[in-house]
Chain A
């Protein structure tokens, strides 16, 4: 086998040699070998490839002069694998560029012939190219585009499986590899030319705006940390904003994480192309289960959308057990049996592990749904839960049209407050009491829980008034929330949901930053479950 990464790699030449080209698609969580060989601030995809090659003892590698990371990957690998070859890849088209690339291909063939002691036969290449010739399937179905930096194969597959539209993958992993070789007398040159004619990646000099079709139902834009090429195009698309656009930021190897898939799912839901199972039932009782990371909440409604009962319990170590328990409590409160229930929708982090649910929907859609149901003037939902926070934008009909979630850390969440309450030596309830007057207006500069904690410790050491410290902490949560709101733009009315909405101090702090009142529902923790129950009833 020969490992490669770039779509411009002459894969068909490798095949013509009778060898197996394998596109490397690493999925590492740590880079033990790689970071011993290359600086840790390199792009994580390149590091993953390096890890993969070393760990699996891959002996033959072909690279292109794609980017600085790959070029340096080549330098590092040069004396570490048996065969490594780098093809220079022109950024322009035109006869001279084709000549250059053609020479590169010849050079590669010669190098590989020498290494393997094997001859290259053009007939083989021709056969292979003919088997990959154009078939003009004109599908004018709805489609969704994936642009930006390379997206992992399994993520692409998951998107394809969960949406009704055709998925067009424009990233490095998505080329169709079809050829239409006319000049058979100079096969290698026409092959070089057709490779250069692939959909241009961002590395190329060519303008890519022609890739954007106004008919797309949406664009999922992938970016990878320390990859420079793609953010520019995102910035451009964002400033135009004429198509629904979702930016996912990954370090490549974690792109199939739950958080990212949730965001993608919610995006598919909001653009109306999420695959949905058929719903028939309309009578009886409907349940929403919100299996969150800190609490599990269940709401039961009847066919008139009246709330019959609800339950809120802390999520235990096993999400499923907690879900059962919360469900039982809600049934009991309502005086119902399980057989009275028509359908159940699960949402929240643990949603996939709830076998008794008929359907699963992301918490983003559910929160939007629940909030709009409670008050149809709501355009922005600020949800701050135990371990994450999000801001959801609704349109005039209550559809989710945009959303942002916080990063993977606990900054600005309920967890942050819990840690701080512990540091201050008070209960979370005590901490939640109204804080309007302050003696001294302290500001906590670190957003990060760990650093903020040490700031609090030093404030305590300086004998600062506890109420002032709490006030400062509330302001810190508020500023994190406001920065999320500002990422999708301000628009009232605002509803705040999630456990932290019960904290008056935080509510005041956010209100004063927004300059507007927040609507707090009667029970802010069940809005997601309520939305799920409504979806269970409406079937959409």
Chain B
């Protein structure tokens, strides 16, 4: 039995003792942190190594001090939190880590036994399960947006009621207009007020501006990175493309993320030239799926060209009026609104990156993503790039039909 399995079993045996499990999870994260710090994998570029550590640390930080933390989702405007030094914990990240510890099945079963639908997205079920078992200590605040994903509002409403923790829902309209910006901006002002009240500290508007400025610098670097993404072989494993979500979303605007992108651009310049076939991913990468792991991680035959999720907003935010700027950023997200927006973004990206193939892994329960599969397939055939979609689950490993997927994935890769 390997170490992770032993660790998993210890956690599972203690599920009725939340305090202990909480400690065990903290221990697991600490161990992971030190592991990556001391055993540097030579194949991993410096920047990604830094990102790896930063991501683990950010989860650890918010778990270690729930009283200074807020639960959010991937798309929530964490700029406010960063400016106020509040530690965000986002659902998608926590659940991925629990899947990494192999305890997602237990947490999901718990959520389902409390009445959650078994067709609900497993990122949400895992998180709810952990919170039902009190493994997750309640935070001081919760914040979610209504955009992109149906699960957010009900999950946060449920958790907020259950734990008696204040929640702010930011309703993001589907269409962009002057009025919709006003509508969101007003809510963002309310969020700020609420945060000041709950955490009993002031939001320094200059600090917020600083965060937005950093964010703009980061987006400029992202663009620079993309210029090389088509020519180089860079991302060594699927997990790193997913770790990038920490940097492109929740923690964008922090000094550390700026540092990361600076290193990233340097690293990719030095990376080996593109060789083998490169695959562009739509939305998520199945980091725990065995076939994908076998084919993509540290492979010189196939490499990961990127995912559109990391580039769902690429413009500048208005630094003078950050509230308005952030409101625009939220509404104009390429995943929000009609699918045409998303299709246009994917088109831009693949024109730049010129991948050899496109894969969409349809995560069970994620309707915003799989609902567009056939439209993206059309786009792919228009631009003449082979496209494959596969069904499965990025968190709940039990939902992956590995045998079936293997044949289809292999046939697709052979075809390229």
Q: Cβ of B155: which chain A residues have Cβ within 8 Å of it? A: 232
- A69 x B367 contact (CB < 8 A): yes
**Among the listed stretches A223-231, A283-291, A363-371, A461-469, which one makes contact with chain B, having 4 or more residues with CB under 8 Å of it?**
A223-231
Query: Which of B143-151, B211-219, B296-304 interfaces with chain A?
Result: B143-151
Q: How far is the CB of A213 from chain B (nearest CB, A)?
A: 19
Complex Cα distance, B370 from A238, in Å, reads 31
Q: In the complex, which range does the number of interface residues on chain A fall in? A: 35 or more
In contact, A231 and B362 (Cβ under 8 angstroms): no
B119 located at the interface, meaning its Cβ lies under 8 Å from any Cβ of chain A in the complex: yes
**CB-contact partner of A41 in B114, B339, B372, B391, under 8 A:** B391
> Which residues of B are found within 8 Å of A231, using beta-carbon distances?
115-117, 120
Interchain CA distance A103-B180 in the complex, whole Å: 10
Give every chain B residue within 8 A of A65 (Cβ-Cβ).
174
- With contacts A100-B183, A236-B158 known, is A228 near B171, CB below 8 A? no
Assess the B371–A72 pair: CB atoms within 8 A. Answer: yes
Q: Give the residues in chain A near B121, CB-CB below 8 Å.
A: 228
Complex Cα distance A424/B186, Å? 70
Set of chain A residues within 8 Å of B117, measured between Cβ atoms = 223, 225, 227-228, 230-231
Q: Please provide the chain B residues from 91 to 135 with a CB less than 8 Å away from any CB of chain A in the complex.
A: 114-117, 119-121, 124
CB distance from B177 to the nearest CB of A (A): 7
Q: How far is the CB of A369 from chain B (nearest CB, A)?
A: 29
What is the CA–CA distance of A75 and B124 in the complex, to the nearest angstrom? 25
Asked whether B89 is an interface residue with its Cβ less than 8 Å from the other chain, the reply is no
- Nearest chain A CB to B44 CB, angstrom units: 35
Are the CB atoms of B183 and A88 closer together than 8 Å? no
- Check if B339 sits within 8 Å of A72, measured CB to CB: yes
Does B38 sit at the interface, judged by CB under 8 A? Answer: no
Contact code string A187-226 (vs B, CB < 8 Å = 1, else 0):
0000000000000001101010000000000000001011
- Residue among B150, B161, B173, B371 with most chain A CB within 10 A: B371
Give per-residue flags for B345-364: 1 if the beta carbon is below 8 A from chain A beta carbons, else 0: 00000000000000000101
The answer on a CB contact under 8 Å between B370 and A41 is: yes
Say whether B157 contacts A42, CB under 8 Å.
Answer: no
User: Does B175 sit within 8 A of A, measured CB to CB?
Assistant: yes
Residues in chain A near residue B146, CB distance under 8 A: 91, 205
Q: How far is the CA of A92 from the CA of B151 in the complex (A)?
A: 17
Q: How far is the CA of A37 from the CA of B183 in the complex (A)?
A: 34
In angstroms, how far is the closest chain A Cβ from the Cβ of B296?
23
Query: What residues of chain A lie closer than 8 Å to B120, measured between beta carbons?
Result: 228, 231
Contact with B along A21-62 (1 / 0, CB 8 A): 000000000000000011101110000000000000000000
CB of B154 within 8 Å of the partner chain: yes
Residue A418 is within 8 A (CB to CB) of chain B in the complex: no
Chain B residues within an 8 Å CB radius of A67: 150, 367
Q: Are B157 and A232 in contact (CB under 8 A)?
A: yes
Asked if A90 is at the interface (CB within 8 A of a chain B CB), the reply is yes
Interface membership of B67, Cβ < 8 A = no
Contact partner, A96, options B161, B182, B364, B389, Cβ 8 Å = B182
A325 interface residue per 8 A CB criterion: no
List, in ascending order, chain A residues with CB within 8 A of B375's CB.
75-76
User: Cβ of B389: which chain A residues have Cβ within 8 Å of it?
Assistant: 39
Are A228 and B365 in contact, with the CB atoms below 8 A?
Answer: yes
| A337 sits at the interface (CB 8 A) | no
A305 close to B (CB within 8 Å)? no
Would you call B239 an interface residue if the criterion is a C-beta within 8 Å of the partner chain's C-beta atoms? no
Among A75, A228, A239, point to the contact of B154 (Cβ < 8 A). A228
**Also in contact, A205 and B171, with CB within 8 A (given A43-B367, A99-B179, A232-B158):** yes
Picked from A74, A226, A232, A239, the residue with its CB within 8 Å of the CB of B365 is A226
CB-CB under 8 A for A41 and B362, given A92-B171, A235-B114, A239-B114: yes
Any chain A CB within 8 A of the CB of B338? Answer: yes
Shortest C-beta distance, A248 to chain B (Å), equals: 13
Report the count of interface residues on B (CB-CB < 8 A): 46
Residue from B114, B151, B169, B372 in contact with A228 in the complex, judged by beta carbons closer than 8 Å: B151
Given A231-B116, A232-B116, check contact A88 B175 (CB 8 Å).
yes
Q: Which residues of B contact A247 (CB under 8 A)?
A: 115
Check: B39 CB closer than 8 A to any chain A CB. Answer: no
Asked if B153 lies at the interface with its beta carbon under 8 angstroms from chain A, I say yes
Which B residues are CB-close (under 8 A) to A74?
A: 338
* Cα distance, A91 to B149, chains bound together (Å): 14
> Which of B151, B180, B183, B367 meets A72, CB within 8 Å?
B367
Report the nearest A residue to B115, measured CB to CB: A235
CB distance from A203 to the nearest CB of B (A): 7
Q: Is the CB of A96 within 8 A of B186?
A: yes
Q: Are A229 and B150 in contact (CB under 8 A)?
A: yes
> How far is A136 from B155 in the complex, measured between Cα atoms in Å?
36
In the complex formed, the residue of B with least CB distance to A41 is B370
Question: Which of the residues B115, B179, B367 comes within 8 Å of A42, measured between beta carbons?
Answer: B367
A interface list, Cβ under 8 A from B:
37-39, 41-43, 65, 67-69, 71-76, 78, 86, 88, 90-92, 96-97, 99-100, 103, 202-203, 205, 207, 223, 225-236, 238-239, 247
Q: Can you list 29 A-B pairs, Cβ within 8 angstroms, ordered by A?
A: A38-B371, A39-B362, A39-B371, A39-B373, A67-B367, A69-B367, A69-B371, A72-B371, A73-B371, A76-B371, A76-B375, A78-B338, A88-B175, A92-B169, A96-B183, A96-B186, A100-B173, A205-B157, A225-B119, A227-B119, A228-B365, A230-B117, A232-B115, A235-B114, A235-B115, A236-B158, A238-B115, A239-B114, A239-B115
Q: A96-B183, A205-B169, A235-B158 provided; 12 other pairs, C-beta below 8 A?
A: A38-B371, A39-B370, A39-B374, A41-B391, A68-B148, A68-B368, A68-B371, A88-B173, A88-B174, A203-B153, A228-B150, A239-B115
